[in-house]
Amino acid sequence: MTSTCLHPGGQQMTERLLQMANLPAGAQVLELGCGNGQTALYLQQKGYQVTAIDQEAEGNPNIRQGDMLHLDFPADVFDAVLAECSLSASGDPSLALTNAYRVLRMGGHLLVSDVFFRETDGEQAEKWVQMVQQAGFTVVAVENASKEAQTFFLKMIWEQGCLPDQWKRIAAGRKKVGYVLLYGRK
């Protein structure tokens, strides 16, 4: 199962994404790459209907095993798709975004938080914005949350003694890691 340490900012970042979108209570939300399901549980407690998928969902009855690159859902069924620091680890974020677009209803919400690398993705995650737009979404809001992510990383180093292996693999050979919150609409 994916480690919870792949979600910089925790529920505070999730809440900021929800505020950006102003999702109505009862919305049908698909969470991509949900890890251990903490965010899905939080969303359910807030009154959302959540389907959470992860490639390594074994042993957790609340999580459906699934791959965001091959979503096994009909078109136009969800009100929102949430991907918290999972698109960058998907192997093909553009394909994952195209799949998210397909399963969203017209007017649906895309909520993304993820890492970006300034030397390849732009100072303000312009590459993420471009990928989201190429998948068909209208970008409504983009927020640079790099300071919050840096605080998270420092806390992980302080508490754990080092960064988790997942982060080391994602950031290997990269400089100037940033963190972006992105809200788009279908």
- Cβ neighbours of residue 97 under 8 Å, at least 6 residues apart? 87, 110, 131, 132, 134, 135, 137
Total length of the chain: 186
- Cβ neighbours of residue 32 under 8 Å, at least 6 residues apart? 53, 68, 81, 82, 83, 86, 87, 90, 96, 100
Mean per-residue pLDDT of the chain: 85
Give the pLDDT score at 4. 42
List, in order of start, the domains of the chain with CATH numbers.
Answer: 4-185 (3.40.50.150)
What parts of the chain have a pLDDT lower than 70? 1-9, 58, 146-175
Give the pLDDT score at 5. 45
From the list 111, 100, 156, the residue with the least C-alpha distance to 14 is 111
Q: Which residues pair with 30 in a beta bridge?
A: 51, 81
Q: What backbone torsions phi and psi does residue 43 show, to the nearest 5 degrees?
A: -65, -40
